[in-house]
Amino acid sequence: MNAPLLSVEGLRLAFGGVLAIDGLTFAVGEAEIVSVIGPNGAGKTSAFNCVTGFYRPTAGSVRLRGRDITGLRPSAVAALGVARTFQNLRLFGEMSVLDNVRAGTHLRIRQNVLDALLHTPRYRRSEQESTEQAHHWLDFAGLRGDRYGPARALPYGEQRRVEIARALARRPDLLLLDEPAAGLNHTEKAEMLDLIRRIREQGVAIVLIEHDMGLVMDVSQRVVVLNFGREIADGPPDEVRRDPEVVEAYLGRDADEAEIEQARASVAGGRDGGA
């Protein structure tokens, strides 16, 4: 049997005395969408940082198509086909929107220094190709704003699209999205849901951290739940949303009946369930 695209096994991460992740195991198949959910501080972003090489886990392994990538540098992980976005946007604010995305294409389009210095036809062709691809991914991400002005001038929701376009320009097999719908209004969230689905249709697998349960339950094939660094559930959305331990994690132990009902509705997602 083929190894899954991503497999995380027995991951642990300690910061001094704080155990941010305490034994996380999950796998992501090709073109699959897996969400990682959990209350604030549960360890979700830390898990992303371990997968993408920003943190070296204290124990456990991260494998990409069976190859051990634990502890590789972020650039090495990216070169193997893993792209990510950040909870707090990390665009080059003064750079044009187009150049931000062109920067994403440079992993794929190789240039050498001599070509660049001499502006050879080969260099001009590769620059042209990079620009065309950047436009393509900005179109794909549904950017409406000005592409030639500085990225920081775009509204927040548009900047999120640029960040995703830049990640896609790397042509990843696996994309990690850290709270892509945070701060978006209702219409923008619906468009984000559509974009995530279209990314998957391109054959890209997605790991999603997201607090909007409606979005998570709609788009995911599987949901992994973390609580205080510990994995408490891994299964299809329908199963996870009924799991009593998951409902409790979102609530605490001392909740009354009404609060439990409310949390159940929230984890259930759907029309009224957006967190």
Q: Which residues contact ligand ATP by CB under 6 A?
A: 15, 18, 20, 38, 40-46
**DSSP H helix total and E strand total for the chain:** 11, 10
Smaller CB separation from ligand ATP, 43 or 157: 43
In the complex, minimum distance from the CB of residue 120 to ligand ATP, in angstroms, rounded to a whole number: 45
Smaller CB separation from ligand ATP, 86 or 140: 86
In the complex, minimum distance from the CB of residue 251 to ligand ATP, in angstroms, rounded to a whole number: 16
Across-strand partners of 252?
none
Smaller CB separation from ligand ATP, 50 or 134: 50
Distances from the Cα of 168 to the Cα of 49, 90, 152, 263, 264, angstroms: 19, 15, 20, 35, 35
**Would you tell me the crossing angle of helices 156-169 and 186-201 to the nearest 10 degrees?**
10
In the complex, minimum distance from the CB of residue 42 to ligand ATP, in angstroms, rounded to a whole number: 4
**Would you tell me the crossing angle of helices 156-169 and 97-105 to the nearest 10 degrees?**
20
Across-strand partners of 60?
none
Smaller CB separation from ligand ATP, 18 or 114: 18
DSSP H helical ranges for the chain: 44-51, 74-79, 97-105, 113-118, 121-140, 156-169, 186-201, 213-219, 237-240, 244-249, 257-268
Smaller CB separation from ligand ATP, 3 or 18: 18
In the complex, minimum distance from the CB of residue 160 to ligand ATP, in angstroms, rounded to a whole number: 16
In the complex, minimum distance from the CB of residue 237 to ligand ATP, in angstroms, rounded to a whole number: 19
